[in-house]
């Protein structure tokens, strides 16, 4: 059974045309799938539709076999689908410890949430545990991403959706962020990774899904996709 599945997913904003135009996805448990594509191709909109922040106009989303299409975002988290947005993903005026506490409070009631999961998450990100009193706003971009991952992982999710976690990071921090994603997967979490940094994403992903104008134009093992070949695909004329 796929950890995450989408069937004929369509979504858009307000009265505008569909931006996500019939996307299918079947993601194996504990895999990393990267969603790549040109600017404005609908990658963020797709991941927001999976998370329930943008309503699906058609199609379905399921997590570990459970249909969550009609569920609001918080219920999807409870169903095992956690989401880290591209921006504003931590509370800058709160400390690391307070951010983690708030996430735990929000998640109260979901199985697996609590002190043990907090310990497990801090083992994954020891640099956070060492600085619990530091304000999130004082962290580097890379450390802030770690805190955002950690907050999402407190839900003990089956699936983690990441929207461009390397955006705005220096090459060193891009590498660290990708390493962190690999560590997260090693704990049994399935990761869907939207990335602009195609080369970095392909290095850690099992599978690549190329989205062009809201449709899947290629789905292939990441090792078979060369960033150099993607230009033609990204800028191909789409019907």
Ligand X SMILES: Nc1ncnc2c1ncn2[C@@H]1O[C@H](COP(=O)(O)OP(=O)(O)OP(=O)(O)O)[C@@H](O)[C@H]1O
Q: Which residues bind ligand X (CB under 6 A)?
A: 13, 19, 37, 39-45, 196
Question: Which one, 29 or 59, has the nearer CB to ligand X?
Answer: 59
5 vs 47, which CB is nearer to ligand X?
47
CB nearer to ligand X: give 89 or 99. Answer: 89
Least separation in angstroms between residue 195's CB and ligand X is 9
Smallest distance from the beta carbon of 48 to ligand X, in angstroms? Answer: 7
| Residue with smaller CB distance to ligand X, 94 or 213 | 213
Name the helix (H) or strand (E) containing 199: helix 198-204
3-class DSSP assignment, residue 187: coil
Closest distance to ligand X from the beta carbon of 8 (Å): 18
What is the residue-wise DSSP string for 43-103? HHHHHHHHHTSS--SEEEEEETTEE-TTS-HHHHHHTTEEEE-SSS-S-TTSBHHHHHHHH
User: In 3D, which of 177, 152, 157 has the Cα closest to residue 165?
Assistant: 177
Distances (CA, A) of 108 to 63, 77, 155: 20, 11, 9
Residue 144's nearest CA partner among 203, 86, 90 is 90
Nearer to ligand X, 13 or 235 (CB): 13
Bridge partners, residue 26, by sequence: 5
Instruction: State the nearest-atom distance from the C-beta of 58 to ligand X, in Å.
Output: 17
Cβ at position 99, least distance to ligand X in Å? 25
């Amino acid at each position: 059974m796929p950890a995450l599945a989408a069937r004929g997913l369509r979504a858009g904003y307000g009265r505008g045309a569909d931006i996500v135009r019939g996307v299918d996805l079947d993601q194996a448990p504990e895999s990393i799938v990267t969603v790549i594509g040109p600017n404005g191709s609908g990658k963020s909109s797709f991941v927001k539709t999976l998370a329930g922040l943008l309503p699906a106009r058609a199609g379905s989303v399921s997590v570990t076999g459970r249909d969550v299409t009609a569920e609001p975002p918080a219920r999807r988290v409870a169903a095992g689908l956690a989401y880290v947005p591209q921006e504003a993903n931590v509370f800058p005026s709160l400390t690391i410890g307070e951010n983690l506490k708030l996430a735990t409070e929000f998640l109260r009631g979901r199985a697996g949430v609590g002190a043990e999961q907090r310990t497990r998450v801090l083992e994954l990100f020891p640099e956070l545990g060492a600085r619990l009193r530091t304000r999130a706003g004082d962290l580097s971009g890379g450390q802030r991403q770690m805190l955002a991952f950690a907050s999402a992982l407190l839900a003990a999710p089956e699936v983690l959706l990441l929207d461009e976690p390397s955006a705005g990071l220096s090459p060193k921090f891009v590498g660290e962020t990708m390493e962190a994603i690999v560590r997260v997967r090693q704990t049994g979490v399935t990761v869907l990774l939207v990335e602009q940094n195609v080369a970095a994403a392909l290095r850690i992903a099992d599978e690549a899904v190329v989205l062009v104008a809201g449709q899947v134009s290629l789905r292939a093992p990441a090792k078979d996709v060369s960033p150099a070949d993607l230009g033609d695909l990204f800028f191909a004329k789409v019907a």
